[in-house]
């Protein structure tokens, strides 16, 4: 097992190329289950999660070629299994989303329940209710979801009681081959959902309203193959932007969709960093001046993303004053707070609210990553801290960041990966 070692106190200076979005890539891989033709995905990130998804798809009979670059081909000419076993699904919650497309194509699927999550329970009941609304018969048996639709899925009206990205994506993946029209209301509006819809439409699906609160899907009998570029990773981009603001210096992010982070840029500027952008780049610059306190509430898109809350908190740990951060999406998403406190941060957590009293400096320490985004916050804090920081359990980091130590190292960070 590896760890990341950071010698803090060095400003960042340079360019960082943003990779394809993890949260989009995994769901885009699942679209191959809906067609017997070749699916080619470009701008694919090379991550632990995409490898896990590839392993599951290969188990089901999909031929996957990840190659050496950022292109992946997937060919589900025929499926040899409609079962997704626990040992493969447990590695990554998003792999549960193979249920809908497999059911839509084959009329039956058996997928392990993914279980809990370090940042909250994240139940799949909304996923199952959506599939039932499309005509699926659902049985739970010994930790597995057994779904059947002997005569195929049929369109229906589904109103989600609260916004869920995963359930929205799952319903879309199932409804595209259903007979008739499906109307989804109170859906998630994330760019990754728009990316999924764009890919499916290029395959011959008929999806309208992606990016709005209501979507209409007219089912088709067959989808063709496709070549599709994964949308840039807004969470990776935001993470590096916040790292630059925290450590100081000047970093230019390349290959970015800045409109996907409209809630972040004003807050970074409010904290005292300068933000400038053009069509494909965003530059973050802070010359060492005081960081100002900023209050924050996480919200569903287009609000501030929960996946950047921990990284923003690392910035606020060095602010000249008090900031209040409220987590409205997931429970248990303040597990990075005790680790930041080990570095000298002053954080008080009560329920879903964290009061962050800025300190003059953070100190390097041995800390432990508790989840993917928490690990990124500890890296950002380590870049700004005095002395050496050791971040353990970085397998969390490898789930969602492609060569983070290389990208930061190219900007002058003193950071390395070593055996733990």
Q: pLDDT band for position 47 (50/70/90)?
A: very high
Q: pLDDT band for position 122 (50/70/90)?
A: low
Kindly tell me if the per-residue pLDDT of 120 is higher than 90. Answer: no
Tokens for 236, please give them. 């990776």
User: DSSP class of residue 31?
Assistant: G
Tokens for 400, please give them. 């969602």
pLDDT recorded at residue 119: 41
* C-alpha dihedral sign at 8, 359, 303, 113: positive
Backbone angles phi, psi at 418, to 5 degrees: -135, 160
Closest by CA to 232, choosing from 251, 211, 260, is 260
Q: Is the pTM of this model over 0.85?
A: yes
**What does 366-394 look like in DSSP terms, one character per residue?**
EEE--SHHHHHHHHHHHHHSBSEEEEE-T
CA distance 394 to 419: 11
Residues annotated as catalytic (active site), given as ranges: 117
What are the contacts of 362-367 at 24+ separation with CB within 8 A?
Answer: 362/8, 362/317, 362/318, 362/386, 363/387, 364/6, 364/7, 364/8, 364/388, 364/389, 364/390, 365/389, 365/390, 366/342, 366/390, 366/392, 367/339, 367/340, 367/342, 367/343, 367/391, 367/392
Kindly tell me if the per-residue pLDDT of 105 is higher than 90. Answer: yes
Within this chain, domains 2-19+232-419 and 22-229 share the same CATH topology = yes
pLDDT recorded at residue 420: 84
Residue pointed to by tokens 């606020």 = 316
Q: What is the pLDDT of residues 292-343, one digit of tens each?
A: 999 999 999 999 999 999 999 999 999 999 999 999 998 888 999 999 999 9
CA distance 12 to 321: 24
pLDDT recorded at residue 375: 93
Residue 180 has a CB neighbour count (10 Å cut-off) of 14
Q: What is the pLDDT of residues 349-387, one digit of tens each?
A: 999 999 999 999 999 999 999 888 889 999 999 999 999
The residues, ordered by sequence, that sit 6+ positions from 384 with a Cβ below 8 Å of its Cβ are 8, 9, 246, 247, 248, 314, 318, 362
CA distance 289 to 213: 41
Average of per-residue pLDDT values in the chain: 95
The answer to whether 58 and 84 are in contact (CB under 8 A) is no
The residues, ordered by sequence, that sit 6+ positions from 133 with a Cβ below 8 Å of its Cβ are 156, 157, 158
Mean pLDDT of the region 7-26: 97
pLDDT recorded at residue 116: 46
Q: What is the pLDDT of residues 207-259, one digit of tens each?
A: 999 999 999 999 999 999 999 999 999 999 999 999 999 999 999 999 999 99
The answer to whether 188 and 168 are in contact (CB under 8 A) is yes
Tokens for 412, please give them. 């002058």
pLDDT recorded at residue 325: 98
Burial state string for 377-411 with b = 16 or more CB within 10 A and e = fewer than 16: bbbbbbbbbeeebbbbbbebbbbbbbebbebbeeb
More confident residue, 67 or 103: 103
**Measured CA angle at 269 (ends 264, 274), to 5 deg:** 120
- CATH 3.65.10.10 matches 2-19+232-419: yes
Q: What is the pLDDT of residues 254-294, one digit of tens each?
A: 999 999 999 999 999 999 999 999 989 999 999 988 999 99
More confident residue, 92 or 259: 259
pLDDT recorded at residue 123: 73
Please state which architecture CATH assigns to domain 22-229: Alpha-beta prism (3.65)
**Measured CA angle at 5 (ends 4, 10), to 5 deg:** 120
List the domain boundaries for the chain. Answer: 2-19+232-419, 22-229
User: DSSP class of residue 125?
Assistant: H
Mean pLDDT of the region 164-186: 97
């Amino acid at each position: 097992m590896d760890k990341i070692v950071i010698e803090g106190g060095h400003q960042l200076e340079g360019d960082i190329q943003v990779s394809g979005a993890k949260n989009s890539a995994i769901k885009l891989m699942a679209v191959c289950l809906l067609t017997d033709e070749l699916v080619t995905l470009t701008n694919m990130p090379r991550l632990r999660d995409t490898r896990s998804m590839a392993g599951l798809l290969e188990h089901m009979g999909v031929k996957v070629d990840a190659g050496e670059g950022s292109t992946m081909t997937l060919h589900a000419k025929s499926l040899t299994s409609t079962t997704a076993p626990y040992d493969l699904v447990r590695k990554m919650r998003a792999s549960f989303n193979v249920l809908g497309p497999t059911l839509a194509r084959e009329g039956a699927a058996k997928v392990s329940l993914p279980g809990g999550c370090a940042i909250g329970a994240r139940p799949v009941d909304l996923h199952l209710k959506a599939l039932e609304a499309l005509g699926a018969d659902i049985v739970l048996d010994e930790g597995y979801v057994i779904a059947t639709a002997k005569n195929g899925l049929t369109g229906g009206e589904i109103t989600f009681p609260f916004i869920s990205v995963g359930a929205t994506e799952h319903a879309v993946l199932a409804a595209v081959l259903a007979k008739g029209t499906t109307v989804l209301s109170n859906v998630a509006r994330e760019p990754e959902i728009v990316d999924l819809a764009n890919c499916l439409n290029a395959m011959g699906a008929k999806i309208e309203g992606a990016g709005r609160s209501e979507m209409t899907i007219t089912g088709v009998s067959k989808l063709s193959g496709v070549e599709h570029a994964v949308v840039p990773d807004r969470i990776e981009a935001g993470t590096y932007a916040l790292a630059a603001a925290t450590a100081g210096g000047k970093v230019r992010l390349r290959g970015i969709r800045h409109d996907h982070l409209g809630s972040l840029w004003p807050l970074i500027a409010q904290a005292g960093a300068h933000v400038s952008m053009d069509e494909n780049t965003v530059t973050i610059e802070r010359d060492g001046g005081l960081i100002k306190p900023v209050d924050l509430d996480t919200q569903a898109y287009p609000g501030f993303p929960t996946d950047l809350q921990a990284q923003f908190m690392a910035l606020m740990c060095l602010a000249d004053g008090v900031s209040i951060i409220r987590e409205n999406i997931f429970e248990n998403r303040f597990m990075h707070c005790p680790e930041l406190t080990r570095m000298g941060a002053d954080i008080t957590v009560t329920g879903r609210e964290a009061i962050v009293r800025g300190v003059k400096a953070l100190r390097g320490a041995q800390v432990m990553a508790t989840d993917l985004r928490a690990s990124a916050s500890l890296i950002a804090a380590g870049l700004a801290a005095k002395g050496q920081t050791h971040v353990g359990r970085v397998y969390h980091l490898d789930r969602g960041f492609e060569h983070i130590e290389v990208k930061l190292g190219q900007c002058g960070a003193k950071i390395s990966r070593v055996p733990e």
